[in-house]
Amino acid sequence: MTEVRVLVGTRKGAFILTADGRRRDWRVDGPLFPGWEVYHVAGAPSAPERVYASQSGGWFGQVVQRSDDGGRSWEPVGNEFTYDGAVGTHQWFDGTQRPWEFTRVWHLEPALSDPDTVYAGVEDAALFRSTDGGVTWRELRGLRTHGSGPSWQPGAGGMCLHTIVQDPRTTSRIHVAISAAGAFRTGDAGATWEPINKGLVSEGLPDADAEVGHCVHNLTRHPDRPDVLYMQKHWDVLRTDDGGEHWYDIGDGLPSDFGFPIQVHAHDPDTVYVVPITSDMAHFPPDGRLRVYRSRVGGHEWEPLTEGLPQRDCYVNVLRDAMAVDSLDECGVYFGTTGGQVYASPDAGGTWAPIVRDLPTVLSVEVQTLP
């Protein structure tokens, strides 16, 4: 029978949640790496037993862990992340220039067809790639040394490259998102990059047509329609139909267009999910009601999904990497909260129930559908 494995990263370790294809009874294993911040745990699409984890701590720094048996055992792999070439500077909040400094790995993205190739998005914002299962890493320096690099500045969570979206048609084409710089695209496997932020409007930027400076929170796409991407931004939910050349707003009908995660249904490229929160200052659901919003028409209409979710006195947040979907016939949707709950819907959002409660703050949720 099919098995579903949910990989959860938290402020104090990682957890693996497992169920059969009915997704009713869940086994909770963990914490793995107890006491460490685990920013992201991700499985390789082409070899599900290969799992990577980003382990970070203020005392001991950054460690990338790898498992080759689905998370039952782990070993640290290469952890030398060195900016390639002249380091240069980037802009700080006060307008001064600061040197680039490596802090942590925010996001790990295994390649679609090769489990030994994995990308890492880091803080300060840069993209690294390993082709030997994480043993060695090399920066794709064309991104950080793009001419706009000195004008990038931190978002509230730091200046991080937090989203990596691969194109299923070719390994040469990748989209990334950086807070607070914007979205970028490469068509030559990371040698060169271009900003793709036309149509984005960000309050506080002196130039309304600024090429960079936008605080993009997340990107997603469906593999059957790779030129259509959806974006959750610091205010605004947007869509592009041409790979990022132009973006347009699809947030009408939401109680707030501020939030962090955005996901697309596994089998329907027009079905999109977001979790609105009140504002950039109030990181909790509007009116204290936890609602996932779903659009079945590519973002042009939205409906609240509430059955099984708390509808009063709920003041949690859902962070950018803390939502995922499985690929079963009736698509399952999962998200974790800053209150330590992980919710699952086995029916594409129709009904919800907590898999587990009272974990540490959930930083990331990924899901694997296993044969």
Residue 124, pLDDT score: 94
> Does pTM surpass 0.85?
yes
**Within a domain: 24:** no
- Of the pLDDT bands very low, low, confident and very high (cuts 50, 70, 90), residue 206 is low
Those residues with Cβ within 8 angstroms of residue 134's Cβ, 6 or more apart along the chain or in another chain: 52, 64, 66, 77, 78, 118
Q: Count CB neighbours of 357 within 10 A.
A: 11
* 336 strand-pairing partners: 342
**Within a domain: 323:** no
User: pLDDT tens digits for 238-278?
Assistant: 999 999 999 999 999 999 999 999 999 999 999 999 999 99
> Is a pLDDT exceeding 80 seen at residue 209?
no
Query: Which amino acid is it at 129?
Result: R
Residue 188, pLDDT score: 97
First to last CA, the chain: 7
- Of the pLDDT bands very low, low, confident and very high (cuts 50, 70, 90), residue 37 is very high
**Within a domain: 329:** no
**Within a domain: 3:** no
**Within a domain: 163:** yes
Q: What's the average model confidence in pLDDT over 65-84?
A: 95
Q: What's the average model confidence in pLDDT over 208-235?
A: 94
Say if residues 261 and 335 touch (Cβ distance below 8 Å).
Answer: yes
For residue 281 the two structure tokens come to 């200052």
- Determine which of 35-39, 95-99, 119-123, 125-129 has the lowest per-residue pLDDT on average: 95-99
**Within a domain: 277:** no
CA–CA dist 318, 321 (Å, integer): 8
Instruction: Show the domain range for 240.
Output: 40-249
- CATH code, domain with 46: 2.130.10.10
> Is a pLDDT exceeding 80 seen at residue 208?
no
- Determine which of 16-20, 76-80, 306-310 has the lowest per-residue pLDDT on average: 76-80
**Within a domain: 5:** no
**Within a domain: 280:** no
Total count of domains within the chain = 1
DSSP state letters, 210-238: -SS-B-EEEEEE-TTSTT-EEEEESS-EE
Q: Is 85 exposed, middle or buried (0-12, 13-18, 19+ CB in 10 A)?
A: exposed
